[in-house]
Structure 1
Amino acid sequence: TPTHLLSYPIRSSHSIDDKDRVFKQLGTFALRKKIEDTVLRGEMLAPTVLQLEEEMSVWRDEKMRDYNYWDDPVKSNEMLAKLADRAKVVDTLKDLAYKIEDAKLIKELAETDAVNYGLIKQAYNASVDISKFLDQYEMSKLLKGPFDIHGASLVIKAGDKGIYSEIWAERLLSMYVKWAEKQGYKGRVLEKCSSNSGGIKSATIEFEFKYAYGFLIGERGVHRMMSSLEKTSFHEVILAAVDVIPLFLETISDLPLDDNDLIMSYLPSENDTGPIVPVVHIQHAPTGICVQSSGERSKFANKMKALNRLKAKLLVVMSEQGVSDLSSIERDAIVDLWDQDTRRYMLQPSKLVEDLKTGVQLPDLNSVLDGNINPFIAAYASLRHATEKG
Structure 2
Amino acid sequence: MRAEIQNTVAKIEKSVALLKQRLDWETAPHRLEEFNAMIEDPTLWDDPERAQKLMRERQMLMDAVNTAKSIEQDMKDNIELIEMGEMEEDQEVIAEAEAALMALTKTAAEKELEALLDGEADGNDTFLEINSGAGGTESCDWASMLARMYVRWAEKKGYKVELQSESAGEEAGIKSAAYKISGPNAYGWLKSESGVHRLVRISPFDSAAKRHTSFTSVKVYPVVDDNIEIEVNPSDIRIDTYRSSGAGGQHVNTTDSAVRITHFPTGIVVTSSEKSQHQNRDIAMKALKSRLYQMELDKRSALVNEAHENAGDAGWGNQIRSYVLQPYQMVKDLRTNFETSDTKGVLDGDLDGFMAATLALNVSGKSRADAQGE
The normalised TM-score by structure 1 is 0.65
Alignment pair present for 1:238 and 2:209 = no
Q: Which moved more, 1:173-182 or 1:379-388?
A: 379-388
Counterpart in the other structure of 1:58 = 29
Deviation of residue 342 (structure 1)?
Answer: 1.8
Gaps of 5+ in 1: 1-36, 66-72, 115-119, 324-332
For the residues of structure 1 that align with 2:242 and 2:8, how far apart are their CA atoms?
Answer: 53
2: CA distance, partners of 1:62 / 1:151: 26
CA distance in 2, matches of 1:360, 1:334: 18
- Give, in whole Å, the separation in 1 of the partners of 2:35 and 2:125: 27
Q: Deviations over 1:148-197 (max 9, x none)?
A: 22111111122253322222111111211222233343433443434464
C-alpha contact (below 8 Å) 1:262/1:283 kept by paired residues: yes
Partner of 1:309: 287
Contact 1:53–1:86 (Cα < 8 Å) also in 2: no
1:379 partnered with 2:357: yes
Aligned-partner residue type, residue 269 of structure 1: S
Structure 1 distance, partners of 2:165, 2:267, is 22
Q: Does the 8 A contact of 2:310 with 2:320 survive in 1? A: no
Does the Cα contact within 8 Å between 1:243 and 1:337 map onto a contact in 2? Answer: no
1:211 is aligned, of 179, 185, 208, to 185
- Residue in 2 that maps onto 1:25: none
* SS of equivalent to 2:349: coil
Percent same amino acid among aligned pairs?
29
Choose 358-367 or 182-191, whichever is displaced more.
Answer: 182-191
Q: Letter of the aligned partner of 1:200 in structure 2?
A: I
> Counterpart of 1:32?
none
Q: List per-residue Cα deviations over 1:246-300 (Å, max 9, x = no partner).
A: 124x53743111111112222221235657263211111111111111122x112
Deviations 1:333-371 (A, max 9, x none): 997453742211123331122212223232332222122
Q: Residue 275 and residue 166 in structure 1: after superposition, are their counterparts in 2 closer, same or farther (change >3 A)? A: closer
203-212 or 190-199: bigger deviation: 190-199
Runs of 5+ consecutive residues of structure 2 not aligned to the other structure: 1-6, 37-43, 45-49, 85-89, 203-208, 302-308, 367-374
Mapped to 1, the partners of 2:131 and 2:186 lie a distance apart of: 20
How many pairs were matched up? 321
1:44 to 1:292, Cα distance in 2 relative to 1, 3 A = same
Secondary structure of the 2:314 match is helix
State the alpha-carbon separation in 2 of the partners of residues 352 and 384 from structure 1: 23
Q: Quick check: 2:19–2:115 contact (8 Å CA) kept in 1?
A: no
Q: What code does the residue aligned with 1:347 have? A: L
Residues of 2 paired with 1:299 and 1:105: CA distance? 63
User: In structure 2, how many angstroms separate the alpha carbons of the residues matched to 1:91 and 1:134?
Assistant: 13
Q: 1:117 corresponds to which residue? A: none
Residue 27 of structure 2: SS of its match in structure 1? Answer: helix
The whole-number CA distance in structure 2 between the counterparts of 1:369 and 1:303 is: 33
Give the SS at the match of 2:361.
helix
| Whole-Å separation in 2 of the counterparts to 1:185 and 1:196 | 31
- The question of 1:259 aligning with 2:234 is answered yes
Q: Supply the AA of the counterpart residue of 1:90.
A: V
Q: CA RMSD in A?
A: 4.6
Match of 2:304 in 1: none
1:142 to 103, 107, 116: 116
